[in-house]
Chains A and B, each alone.
Chain A
Amino acid sequence: MAKMAGKQMVVEALKREGVEVVFGYPGGAIIDVFDAIDKDGSIKFVLVRHEQGATHAADGYARSSGKVGVCIVTSGPGATNTVTGIATAYMDSVPMVVITGQVPTALIGNDAFQEVDIVGITRPCTKHNYLVKDVKDLSRILKEAFYLARSGRPGPVLIDIPKDVQNGKAEFAYPEEIELRSYKPVADPHIKQIERACALIEQARKPIIYAGGGVVIAGAHKELRALAEEISAPVAMTLMGLGGFPGTHPYSLGMLGMHGSYCSNMAMANTDLIIAVGARFDDRVTGKIEAFAPMAKIIHMDVDPTSIQKNVKVDVPIVGDCKKGLSKLLKVLKEGGRDQETWKNQHKAWWEQIRAWEKRHPLSYKKDSNVIKPQYVIERLYDMTKGRAIITTEVGQNQMWTAQFYKFDEPRTLLTSGGLGTMGYGFPAAIGAQIAFPDKLVVDVAGDGSIQMNIQEMATAMEQKLPVKIVILNNQFLGMVRQWQELFYEKRYVATRFQVVPDFVRLAEAYGAKGFRATRPEEVDQVLKQGLETDGLVIMEFAIAREEGVFPMVPAGKATTEMLLV
């Protein structure tokens, strides 16, 4: 077999993995791979303006499409700039392959120009990573990386390729199948555990399904819905789980946890059985752990065994893929012979209680005719897009208002940094999603703080002719931190008030995009309409009530029943 250069192996591997687009930024240590991609001509290359943007764009591409996101950057600062994006993808289990250039092997360890131990730096925030020392290993490593990134609990995998390895030659031996003796993710849950789970479900009087991002990742949307409808159980979702169950479904209680609905949190506190699916009992969900669901038995289904029994004691652990797990669970339940009526009767009192909670404190906000309420903007955005857009968010109040007031019916329509809470995520992620779905409406909901963290990517969006719509909820504050300062720091607004905020409309224009601004409630509809109807990249800026808060809110470390309401 003819020998192939390392740089060509990269291109060949990308093609075999079905990669159509890569995001990245060039530099001396990766120039050869870029050159090879260009020569080949079959892979679209998206040049970002900052490597963090590349990782978030690859992440948005991956989350929206379910494919592996790929980014390629140079060594040293190029590599370190990806770390936030990698950690973001790691926390939210996003399949991603990051290829970094490295100084020639002879220089590694010599503090060479633009050298950094990126494998060492990213070890704790990648699913796995590699430094390729010999071009003979490269094709196998590329295959392994894609396999690891997308299998089991997905995650980012980094491959660091020294310049001489990129140019060295070897046979391209790309394995068809990967067999790693040390890595065997369990996809098929154990039937015994499924049966134990069913027994608990049959006994329960007040069950609740607690659905997380794992449902979305596994594509278990339909199975989850079938389960809820079969056993007549309410569904509370984590931020990452939104869209995993239709937000408009009568059984949906919306989000739970720190900014979850009153009803979700009360139901969690009073349930006798939690059916947790692809969720990990994050502290933002459980609040004070000792007070979390004190009377509940817990069934926990997750593909990653480390998530089970990490934060709470679990009665029935089910290790496996959520789609397979839910199907099996449903099958065994149906074999039990009960009809839906029986289930409905069994949970009748529970539903009455839930409806009462819903009525007592529905998600709401104080309307105002003088100043724009951010919740109103999201509500109108939902109405006008008919819930059919892919929404990305930044992090903070904008993210929580979106989670609360935009109803997500379909999986992969909300892209948001849940685990790491990365400001600056939303806009580059929207770029990635728009590239994956050129014909869909993609909207980034941002705050004035977050959008400024990766605003430079407007150039990328313009260059790629991406019609992303950016909604900026501008309160000239770092709103979420300000909310904490207001509630817990006697309104000492330290370092949360921006002295200088750019004119976002003119900023949009500076990049060649369009900008619209609303300063009064009656302008909201018009600006949204104009913005959504205008071709190309658009910023819609809304001057919102400056001291509006996100409610309900469970103060950190409190029980989830101790909610601050509107």
Chain B
Amino acid sequence: MRHTLSVLVENNPGALSRIAGLFSGRGFNIESLCVAATLDPTLSHLTLVTSGADLIIEQIIKQLNRLVDVYKVVDVSEGEYVEREMALIKVKAEAETRAEVLRIVDIFRCKVVDVSPKTYTLEVTGPETKLKAVLELLRPIGIKEIARTGTIAMAREKKTV
């Protein structure tokens, strides 16, 4: 099962490395990891996507909590939540494909953020599934480069981490 964890961690040097080290050292897998500051500058918010059986996820959450720098861990995928990822995609756009690329941009509500005689660079945000779909459609046209952010997530409605 895929789980998305929201982790609040002290904004200390080495904190991220402790978390990453915990995963590698214990043989857990990180599928995606995203870190940024929160409203409180002493805390960082980290969104971590991992997968495993329930017992493994329980261990991951407990082990994270055991780290002295970790303030809070919430498995947002346990309830309703929204998640987003952003990608920049540089795609081949020559005379015969330019229109097709724009159609896809339109359908998926992407943005063209850079244009050159032979390429478009698109910005696309959405859940991982949407990014996957866009990439699938663009691939036959010719993707030259992509950069992705990894997932960020938030529980819906009133719940906060």
Contacts and interface: CB of A to CB of B under 8 A. Distances in A.
B68 A148 contact: yes
Interface in B56-73: 58-59, 62-63, 65-66, 68-71
Contacts of B58: 309
A180 B68 contact: yes
Contact of A120 (B9, B17, B69, B71): B17
Contacts of A306: 59, 62-63, 66
Contacts of A127: 68
Interface in A99-138: 119-120, 123-124, 127-128, 131, 133
A305 interface: yes
Contacts of B68: 127-128, 148, 180, 182-183
Interface of B: 9-10, 13-14, 17-18, 21-22, 25, 55, 58-59, 62-63, 65-66, 68-71
Given A305-B66, A309-B58, A123 B17 contact: yes
Given A131-B13, A182-B10, A304-B66, 12 more contacts: A123-B21, A124-B21, A124-B22, A128-B69, A182-B9, A182-B70, A183-B68, A305-B65, A306-B59, A306-B63, A309-B58, A313-B55
Nearest to B62: A306
Interface string A282-321: 0000000000000000000000111011100100000000
Interface in A168-185: 180-183
Interface residues of A, number: 20
A131 B18 CA distance: 14
15 contacts: A123-B18, A124-B25, A127-B68, A128-B68, A131-B13, A131-B14, A133-B13, A182-B9, A182-B69, A182-B70, A182-B71, A304-B66, A306-B62, A308-B62, A313-B55
Nearest to A144: B68
A305 B10 contact: no
Interface in A482-534: none
Contacts of A305: 62, 65-66
The interface residues of chain A, by DSSP majority, are classed as loop
* Best-buried of B13, B21, B59, B66 by chain A (most CB within 10 Å): B66
B14 A123 contact: yes
A148 B69 CA distance: 12
Contacts of A310: 59
Nearest to B26: A124
6 closest A-B pairs by CB? A128-B68, A306-B62, A182-B71, A124-B25, A183-B68, A305-B62
Contacts of B9: 182
Nearest to B24: A124
A124 B23 CA distance: 11
Contacts of A124: 21-22, 25
Interface of A: 119-120, 123-124, 127-128, 131, 133, 148, 180-183, 304-306, 308-310, 313
Nearest to A183: B68
Given A124-B25, A304-B66, A305-B66, A181 B71 contact: yes
Nearest to B17: A123
Nearest to B25: A124
A309 B69 contact: no
B59 to A, nearest CB: 6
A123 B59 CA distance: 19
A305 B66 CA distance: 8
A304 B62 CA distance: 9
A82 B32 CA distance: 35
A193 to B, nearest CB: 16
Nearest to A120: B17
Contacts of B13: 131, 133
Contacts of B21: 123-124
Contacts of A304: 66
Nearest to B71: A182
Q: Which of B25, B68, B71 has the most CB of A within 10 A?
A: B68
Contacts of B59: 306, 309-310
Kindly name the residue among A124, A182, A305 whose own CB sees the greatest number of chain B CB atoms within 10 A: A182
Contacts of B63: 306
Contacts of A180: 68
Contacts of A128: 68-69
Contacts of A131: 13-14
Interface centre among A119, A120, A181, A304 (most CB of B within 10 A): A181
Contacts of A123: 14, 17-18, 21
Q: Which of B13, B14, B25, B70 has the most C-beta atoms of chain A within 10 angstroms of its own C-beta?
A: B14
Nearest to A305: B62
Nearest to A180: B68
Contacts of A148: 68
A128 B70 CA distance: 12
B39 to A, nearest CB: 15
A182 B65 CA distance: 8
Contacts of A313: 55
A309 B61 CA distance: 12
Contacts of A308: 62
Contacts of B70: 182
B120 to A, nearest CB: 41
B118 to A, nearest CB: 42
B86 to A, nearest CB: 29
A308 B21 CA distance: 21
Contacts of A181: 71
A309 B17 CA distance: 26
A310 B28 CA distance: 13
A457 B111 CA distance: 70
Given A124-B21, A128-B68, A181-B71, A119 B62 contact: no
A182 B71 CA distance: 4
A119 B12 CA distance: 13
A436 B62 CA distance: 35
A30 B5 CA distance: 42
Nearest to A157: B68
A192 to B, nearest CB: 19
Contacts of A182: 9-10, 68-71
A120 B9 CA distance: 18
A308 B10 CA distance: 25
Contacts of A120: 14, 17
Contacts of B71: 181-182
A249 B44 CA distance: 53
